[in-house]
């Protein structure tokens, strides 16, 4: 029972021929399929002048009284208004408040408010909205609520006048208002759901997480957890917009560097906020029509040294580490296609912030001095190895960690480098005992006031966070930080923080590496003053992304 030779021959002849034909047809079909959409190539590319599409790391929290991160801060600054706004170049400027008076004892602040402001739904803004917003924040105790604990009472003195009485002197008080977004009290009350806040139900949390209740320059029109947030221009904003301001702003989440590069090249993105690998930035810088910009937000990169764990509990060991670090090597890593991703730090206060000391020296490597300091330490020649952790998700930081390891080898210090995920990082630093000797981290200002960085980092009562991973407990620094909150004169206060910064630097709680500048890429048809001229940077998390001031399209 075998196949006949003729049939076999037929099969052999017919089979491959038909398959070859099929393969050719499949190829032709594929070619046709790919050629057809060629006409749609620019379908995704928007005409300039209408939209800003920007990469964002993750969904921001739309409720302005809950979050503390950058994506949420960007939403906050664009959807809401504040009594006082962070100003370009540092400091604060009037916004919803036109002026304010401070009583002689510094405990009573009275604000005069604008009378020409309307919320997005048309309701006029009044002092009741200010009082409601403050009480909402104080009651919910989320986000930056801690900044307002000092307020003993808040009272509306009229539709456009409000008074705050403080429990004690608190110099950063005005700057704190850059974090009190004013919500539409009537709208929020009308949309409150059942909750744990008595007559206020859930205080409108469910509503404000999905919709906006603000008066800011943009209106929230879409807020999808896994894809994008869309904002459209609010034409009735009291401060107005740049004449070429985008009608629509789209914040796209979770785009990976290769995708960002492809989309930027195809002009499907206008701006990249999320930190990109240097290789991608270099490639984008070479692409016609794309430029690099600098986002300086008052943050710094540090190797924090645990002051309560051996051997970094000895100031001489910490000094040796600081002297042995290869600052020049790190500076080389910060050059991205000729654009600096950081400038050398001069102590614990970033440049452009009150108390920054331009006369203080930047870090410089001196191996002989480092070895001498090590010899003076109580550990002498028997210094135990150091444990160093960095957040695995921050790819660039791994290079710094390895540079640190190599630098310390030159003075005979062994360093165990441990990459760990962010969730574990935060857990690891909850106690002094569990915090490793060295923690690589970025820290920055959360309000325009220097206190927001120094207090959370160095006061002995500040909560255990990555800010405070050096576990400082120095009575002199504590007193200095407490005094800084009571000095109302700006110049005296600046001098005080300069001196305090020197005291902190002398204790070497960290290797102060550089003031961070996030290098971003933008299409040339987008003008973004805060990202192109660092003198106009807003030194605050997310402060440089106020789309009202940006323009799209050819200059008019």
Partner 1 sequence: MIRRVRLANVAAFLAARVGAGLLVVFGVSVLIFVLARAMPGDPARLALGPAATAAQVERLRADMGLDEPLLYQYVTFVAGALRLDFGTSLFTNRPVIADLAYGFPASLELALAAGMVMTIFGILLGAVSARFQNRWPDNVSRILSLIAVAMPNFVWALILMLLFAYWAELLPVSGRLSERLQAPPFVTGLVTVDAVLAGQWATLGDALRHLALPAVSLSLPGLAQVARLTRTNMVDVYARPYTEFARAYGFSEREISVKWALRPALIPTFTLLGMQIVALLGNAFLVETVFAWPGMARYGVEAILRKDLNAIVAVVMIVSVAFVVINIAIDLCVSFIDPRIRLQSAR
Interface residues with partner 1 (CB under 8 A)?
1-3, 7, 11, 15-16, 19, 23, 34, 37-38, 40-41, 43-44, 46, 51, 58-59, 61, 63, 66-69, 141-146, 196, 205, 209-210, 224-228, 250, 252-256, 258-259, 261-263, 265-266, 268, 393, 421-424, 426-428, 430, 446, 456, 463, 465-467
CA 197 → CA 136, 141, 145, 204, 207, distances in Å?
10, 12, 16, 10, 15
CB of 308 to partner 1, least distance (A): 18
Cβ–Cβ under 8 Å, residues 90 and 104: no
Cα–Cα distance for residue pair 243/471, rounded to 1 Å: 49
CB of 348 to partner 1, least distance (A): 17
Residue among 261 and 319 whose Cβ is closer to partner 1: 261
Residue among 261 and 485 whose Cβ is closer to partner 1: 261
DSSP character at residue 124: B
CB of 312 to partner 1, least distance (A): 21
Terminal-residue alpha carbon distance, the chain: 88
Cβ–Cβ under 8 Å, residues 314 and 364: no
Residue among 139 and 169 whose Cβ is closer to partner 1: 139
Q: Which residues contact 50 (CB under 8 A, 6 or more apart)?
A: 246, 247, 248, 552
Quick one: tokens of 177?
């208002």
CB of 549 to partner 1, least distance (A): 24
Cα–Cα distance for residue pair 216/291, rounded to 1 Å: 29
CB of 132 to partner 1, least distance (A): 20
Residue among 7 and 406 whose Cβ is closer to partner 1: 7
Cα–Cα distance for residue pair 425/439, rounded to 1 Å: 9
Residue among 253 and 400 whose Cβ is closer to partner 1: 253
Question: Measured at the alpha carbon of residue 197, what is the angle toward residues 192 and 201, in degrees to the nearest 5?
Answer: 20
Residue among 46 and 302 whose Cβ is closer to partner 1: 46
Q: How many Cα atoms occupy the beta-carbon half-sphere of 520 within 13 Å?
A: 30
Q: Which residues contact 94 (CB under 8 A, 6 or more apart)?
A: 84, 85
Cα–Cα distance for residue pair 150/315, rounded to 1 Å: 35
CB of 175 to partner 1, least distance (A): 14
Residue among 379 and 442 whose Cβ is closer to partner 1: 442
Residue among 43 and 554 whose Cβ is closer to partner 1: 43
CB of 284 to partner 1, least distance (A): 13
CB of 69 to partner 1, least distance (A): 6
Q: Which of 248, 224, 281 lies closest to 46 in space, CA to CA?
A: 248
Cβ neighbours, 10 Å, residue 216: 27
Residue among 51 and 169 whose Cβ is closer to partner 1: 51
Cβ neighbours, 10 Å, residue 254: 14
DSSP character at residue 388: E
CB of 163 to partner 1, least distance (A): 26
């Amino acid at each position: 029972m075998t196949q006949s030779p003729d049939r076999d021959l037929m099969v052999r002849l017919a089979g491959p021929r038909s398959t070859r034909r099929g393969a050719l047809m499949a190829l032709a079909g594929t070619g046709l399929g790919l050629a057809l959409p060629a006409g749609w190539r620019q379908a995704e590319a928007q005409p300039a002048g209408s939209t800003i599409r920007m990469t964002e790391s993750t969904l921001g929290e739309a409720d302005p009284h809950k979050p503390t991160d950058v994506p949420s801060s960007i939403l906050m600054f664009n959807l809401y208004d504040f009594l006082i706004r962070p100003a370009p170049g540092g400091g604060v400027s009037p916004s919803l408040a036109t002026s304010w008076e401070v009583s002689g004892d510094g405990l009573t602040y009275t604000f005069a408010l604008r009378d020409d402001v309307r919320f997005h739904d048309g309701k006029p803004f009044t002092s009741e909205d200010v009082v409601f917003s403050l009480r909402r924040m104080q009651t919910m105790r989320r986000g930056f609520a801690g900044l307002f604990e000092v307020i003993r009472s808040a009272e509306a003195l009229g539709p456009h006048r409000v008074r705050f009485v403080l429990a004690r002197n608190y110099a950063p008080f005005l700057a704190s208002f850059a974090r009190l977004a004013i919500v539409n009290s009537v709208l929020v009350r009308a949309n409150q759901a059942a909750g744990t806040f008595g007559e206020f139900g859930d205080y409108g949390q469910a509503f404000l997480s999905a919709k906006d209740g603000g008066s800011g320059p943009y209106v929230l029109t879409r807020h999808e957890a896994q894809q994008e947030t869309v904002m459209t221009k609010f034409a009735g904003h009291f401060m107005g917009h740049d004449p070429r301001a985008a009608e629509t702003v789209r914040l796209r989440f979770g785009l990976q560097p290769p995708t960002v590069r492809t989309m930027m090249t195809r002009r499907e993105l206008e701006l990249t906020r999320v930190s990109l690998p240097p290789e991608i930035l270099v490639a984008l810088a070479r692409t016609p029509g794309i430029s690099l910009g600098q986002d300086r937000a008052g943050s710094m990169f540090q190797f924090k040294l645990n002051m309560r764990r051996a051997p970094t509990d000895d100031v001489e060991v910490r000094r040796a580490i600081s002297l042995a670090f290869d600052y020049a090597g790190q500076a080389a890593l910060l050059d991205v296609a000729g654009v600096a991703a950081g400038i050398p730090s001069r102590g614990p206060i970033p440049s452009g912030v009150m108390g920054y000391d331009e006369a203080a020296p930047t870090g410089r490597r001196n191996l002989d001095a480092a070895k001498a300091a090590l010899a003076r330490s109580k550990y002498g020649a028997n210094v135990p190895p150091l444990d160093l952790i960095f957040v695995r998700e921050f790819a660039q930081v791994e290079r710094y960690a390895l540079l640190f390891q190599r630098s310390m080898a030159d003075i005979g210090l062994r360093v165990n480098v441990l990459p760990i995920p962010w969730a574990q990082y935060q857990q690891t630093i909850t106690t002094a005992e569990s915090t490793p000797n060295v923690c690589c981290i970025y820290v920055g200002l959360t309000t325009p006031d220097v206190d927001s960085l120094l207090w959370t980092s160095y006061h002995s009562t500040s909560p255990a966070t990555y800010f405070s991973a050096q576990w400082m407990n120095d009575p002199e620094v504590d007193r200095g930080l407490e005094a800084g909150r009571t000095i109302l004169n700006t110049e005296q206060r600046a001098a005080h923080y300069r001196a305090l910064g020197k005291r902190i630097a002398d204790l070497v709680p960290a290797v102060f590496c550089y003031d961070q500048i996030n290098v971003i890429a933008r299409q040339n048809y987008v003008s973004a003053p805060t990202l192109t001229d660092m003198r106009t940077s807003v030194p605050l998390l997310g402060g440089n992304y106020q789309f009202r001031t940006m323009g799209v399209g050819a200059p008019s």
